[in-house]
Structure 1
Amino acid sequence: MNRLASIEGTATPLPIENLDTDQIMPKQFLRIIDKAGLSDGLLYDLRFDTNGAPRADCVLDRPAYRGSTILLGGANFGCGSSREHAVWGLQQFGFQAVIAPSFAEIFYSNAMNNRLLLVQLERESIDELLRDAWEHPATTLRIDIEEQTVTTPDGRSYPFPLGARHKRMVMEGMDTIDLTFTSLADIEAFERRHVERHPWAAVM
């Protein structure tokens, strides 16, 4: 997988607090046996009315925000159930990153394991980015993963925290299994030492 050093694109404002995974990906879209078609279910009740007709006031379907690669969310984004489909749906819809004041813990792990970058900023910083996104929908943001900054076209820069393990996983396209295999030589050496010291524990 190609190395991902940065993400650049327009941002869609969706400042809903406590947006849970049941809302992000409703249960009726969990019946599939693979990941295909989840973009249709993303935030379905927000995008469509009870008759299945598109809601004209839904920001996700406004022409000005189509093709957006960054989502600006509210605090505690991705709370609720642990369904990984929420992450897959966001990615299939075209989002490569979500910027929010905070994220639910399980959602955070699911996202990073699937290379959906989650950026946590102070609320004041996100309020500024939201204002820009509402007033100037075509404005692009640049997320530098290596430097851990979000930069606006006028030069404002917002640093964000990112652990070394998750940073490596996102940049190199690794999941937890891939990450474990990078330590395979150390794991095998430990196994050899363990068997030498405790031969009765060796698997026959």
Structure 2
Amino acid sequence: MQPFTTLTGIAAPMPAANVDTDKIIPARFLKTIARTGLGKSLFANMRYREDGSENPDFVLNQDPYRKAEVLIAYENFGCGSSREHAPWALLDFGIRCVIAPDFADIFHNNCFKNGILPVRLPREVCETLIEDAKLGANARITVDLERQVVVRPNGEEIPFRIDEFRRHLLLNGLDDIGQTLQHAPAIDGYEARQKAAQPWLYA
């Protein structure tokens, strides 16, 4: 998993509440278990018309937001079903951070497992950041996980808090497998002792 330390990039404004996981990645795209290739289907029902052409009114179809790395929305982002494909699709598109007043619990947890930083900030702060984001490429924002601040284009720093253990995992790029591999020497040692004491288990 790619570590998340400091990100400076374009933020896409999505002033909507209750953006559910079926909007993020519609159910018809859940046939795959691969984590890559889903970016093209992110927000498919809003990004594309029935004939498959792009909807020019949707923010991610507009320059410079095609290259957005931050998404700013309102309350209850990621509600609905528990599909892990939702953070997979965001990450494959290039979104590394979502800022909202709050998140659905399972989506929130899945973000950390996939290298996406979900930042909770009050509604009024999100509204301010959305106005910043509407300035496009002239209004890049910085999300600094080490210092736990969001830096507006004007230099104002907005603090946020992340659980310390989850912060450690993101800073070091550790998913569930990565956490386990940190204990590889102890696991190898246990298996060696068990093999010597109970060789029939390895026959």
TM-score bracket for this pair, using the shorter chain length: 0.7 to 0.9
Q: Give runs of aligned pairs for residues 67-82 of structure 1, distance below 5 A.
A: 67-82=67-82
Shift of 1:16: 1.5
Residue identity in the other structure for 1:173: G
What are the Cα deviations for residues 122-154 of structure 1, in whole angstroms up to 9, with x where unaligned? Answer: 1111111111111x1111111110110000131
Percentage of identical aligned residues: 38
What is the alpha-carbon distance in structure 1 between the residues aligned to residue 164 and residue 187 of structure 2?
20
**Residue in structure 2 matched with residue 96 of structure 1 by the alignment:** 96
Give the secondary-structure state (helix, strand or coil) at the position aligned to 1:158. Answer: strand
**Residue in structure 2 matched with residue 21 of structure 1 by the alignment:** 21
Q: Give runs of aligned pairs for residues 13-162 of structure 1, distance below 5 A.
A: 13-134=13-134, 136-138=135-137, 139-162=139-162
Give the secondary-structure state (helix, strand or coil) at the position aligned to 1:63. Answer: coil
Residue identity in the other structure for 2:154: D
TM-score when normalising by structure 1: 0.85
Shift of 1:104: 0.5
Q: Which runs of 5+ in 1 are unaligned?
A: 192-204
Give the secondary-structure state (helix, strand or coil) at the position aligned to 1:8. Answer: strand
What are the Cα deviations for residues 79-115 of structure 1, in whole angstroms up to 9, with x where unaligned? Answer: 1111111101001111111111100100011010111
Q: Is the 8 A contact 2:4 2:115 kept in 1?
A: no
What is the alpha-carbon distance in structure 2 between the residues aligned to residue 186 and residue 160 of structure 1?
36
Q: Which runs of 5+ in 2 are unaligned?
A: 191-203
Shift of 1:177: 3.8
Q: Is the 8 A contact 2:36 2:88 kept in 1?
A: no
Give the secondary-structure state (helix, strand or coil) at the position aligned to 2:126. Answer: helix
What is the alpha-carbon distance in structure 2 between the residues aligned to residue 100 and residue 81 of structure 1?
18
Give the secondary-structure state (helix, strand or coil) at the position aligned to 2:76. Answer: coil
Range with bigger deviation, 31-40 or 141-150: 31-40
Give the secondary-structure state (helix, strand or coil) at the position aligned to 1:150. Answer: strand
Shift of 1:182: 4.2
Paired residues in the alignment total 190
What is the alpha-carbon distance in structure 2 between the residues aligned to residue 2 and residue 175 of structure 1?
9
What is the alpha-carbon distance in structure 1 between the residues aligned to residue 183 and residue 31 of structure 2?
36
What is the alpha-carbon distance in structure 2 between the residues aligned to residue 121 and residue 2 of structure 1?
24
What are the Cα deviations for residues 4-47 of structure 1, in whole angstroms up to 9, with x where unaligned? Answer: 32111010001221111111011111112422320121000011
What is the alpha-carbon distance in structure 2 between the residues aligned to residue 37 and residue 160 of structure 1?
31
The RMSD of aligned alpha carbons is: 2.2
What is the alpha-carbon distance in structure 2 between the residues aligned to residue 24 and residue 132 of structure 1?
23
Q: Is the 8 A contact 2:111 2:118 kept in 1?
A: yes
What is the alpha-carbon distance in structure 2 between the residues aligned to residue 110 and residue 122 of structure 1?
21
What are the Cα deviations for residues 152-188 of structure 1, in whole angstroms up to 9, with x where unaligned? Answer: 1312111111001110111111113433554678999
Distance change in 2, residues 1:37/1:155 (3 Å): same
What is the alpha-carbon distance in structure 2 between the residues aligned to residue 34 and residue 186 of structure 1?
31
Shift of 1:55: 0.9
Alignment pair present for 1:167 and 2:162: no
Residue identity in the other structure for 2:95: F
Residue identity in the other structure for 1:150: V
Shift of 1:63: 1.4
What is the alpha-carbon distance in structure 2 between the residues aligned to residue 3 and residue 81 of structure 1?
27
